Amino acid sequence: MEVVFRKYQGLGNDFLVVDDPALIAALGPAEARTLCDRHLGVGGDGVLLTGVREGRPFMRVINADGTTPQMCGNGVRCVALHLFEGGHVTDAPFDLDTDAGPHRVQVHAPGPVGDVEVWMRSPSLAPRDLPLTAEAPWRDEPIEVAGERLRVTAVSMGNPHAVTFDPVPRERVGPALEIDARFPERVNVGFVSNIRPGGFDLAVWERGVGFTQACGTGACAAAVAAVETGRAPRGEALRVVLPGGPLLITVGEPDAPVRMRGPAARVFDGVARV
């Protein structure tokens, strides 16, 4: 099968975007694993299936390991730019359907390198929404993982996140916490450091991927955790610096969408055989 794709990246988080309905119907986990293999395939953190269905733009994500997360913040920015640049949508802003529900997006600066804002879903700390096996929300909850004691705040952004502000060995804690039994659907792990007025640094271990250059939902979850634990103010844009670059994240009232703004870039077009 020949797969026509366009490759995008958002702060180094790279994806193969496919918008052919026939290919979308045929592509599954095995094909995604082959395409995303950086030695045997094209290479990427995931495949983004997109287009317009019954008049509504949509996005579906398949990770590099073949799993299907509910949401991908950097992927949303890439898909929004792809749909806008390709003429699939003309409204500004427009709503993009995902497995985590609709998200409003705004392409502020179209082009090969775009500036895209996303109104993410409202965050939740409720254990049932992550899911998390706990009787109450985790806010700086002390736990032990991989022989390390750390405090964790658990946040759902439509997908599950565990955020810690403690200095711990990330290479050991990340993969261990991802598969911790208290998170029955596994969890993304955010490591916050260098907290300062107006922002902080962040590294994210993504479930099914490992450490990546950037994670949009992870940046949102970390900003929510910082606000909920009193480390950052509510209602102000926070500059979250990931290995691939910065995102601007604004956490409003608890029931309000989290706003994320950052770049997305078209890298190249291609055809691969799987």
Class of domain 2-120+262-273: alpha beta
Active-site annotation, residues: 72, 215
Please give the C-alpha separations between residue 113 and each of 4, 86, 168, 216, in angstroms, as whole numbers.
Answer: 21, 14, 35, 17
- Backbone phi, psi, residue 120, to 5°: -70, 170
**What integer pLDDT is reported at residue 70 of this predicted model?**
87
The answer to which of 42-51, 104-113, 153-162, 189-198 has the lowest mean pLDDT is 104-113
- Buried-exposed string 184-194: b where 16+ CB fall within 10 A, e elsewhere: eebbbbbbbee
Alpha carbons 96 and 85: distance in angstroms, whole number: 15
Query: No. of H helices and E strands in the chain?
Result: 5, 16
Residue 265: closest CA among 69, 70, 17: 17
Q: What is the pLDDT of residues 13-35, one digit of tens each?
A: 999 999 999 999 999 999 999 99
Q: Which CATH architecture has domain 127-256?
A: Roll (3.10)
Cα-to-chain-centroid distance, residue 189:
12
**What integer pLDDT is reported at residue 91 of this predicted model?**
81
Sequence-distant (≥ 6) Cβ neighbours of residue 104 within 8 angstroms: 93, 94, 95, 96, 118, 119, 257
Q: What is the pLDDT of residues 40-93, one digit of tens each?
A: 999 999 999 999 999 999 999 999 999 998 889 999 999 999 999 999 998 889
Judge whether 2-120+262-273 and 127-256 match in fold.
Answer: yes
**What integer pLDDT is reported at residue 111 of this predicted model?**
81
Sequence-distant (≥ 6) Cβ neighbours of residue 56 within 8 angstroms: 95, 97
pLDDT for 98 beyond 90: yes
pLDDT for 196 beyond 90: yes
Alpha carbons 272 and 274: distance in angstroms, whole number: 7
Q: What is the pLDDT of residues 246-259, one digit of tens each?
A: 999 999 999 999 99
Alpha carbons 265 and 131: distance in angstroms, whole number: 33
According to DSSP H, which parts of the chain are helical? Answer: 21-26, 29-36, 73-85, 170-178, 216-228
Residues 96-108, mean pLDDT to the nearest whole number? 94
Judge if the upstream peptide bond of residue 131 is cis by omega within 30 degrees of 0. yes
Alpha carbons 6 and 35: distance in angstroms, whole number: 12
Per the prediction, the chain carries an average pLDDT of 95
Residue 112's pLDDT band, with cuts at 50, 70 and 90, is confident
Sequence-distant (≥ 6) Cβ neighbours of residue 251 within 8 angstroms: 123, 220, 223, 224, 227, 232, 234, 235, 238, 258
| CB neighbours of residue 225 within 10 Å | 28
Would you say 170 and 191 are in contact if contact means Cβ atoms under 8 Å apart?
Answer: yes
Q: Where are the domains of the chain?
A: 2-120+262-273, 127-256
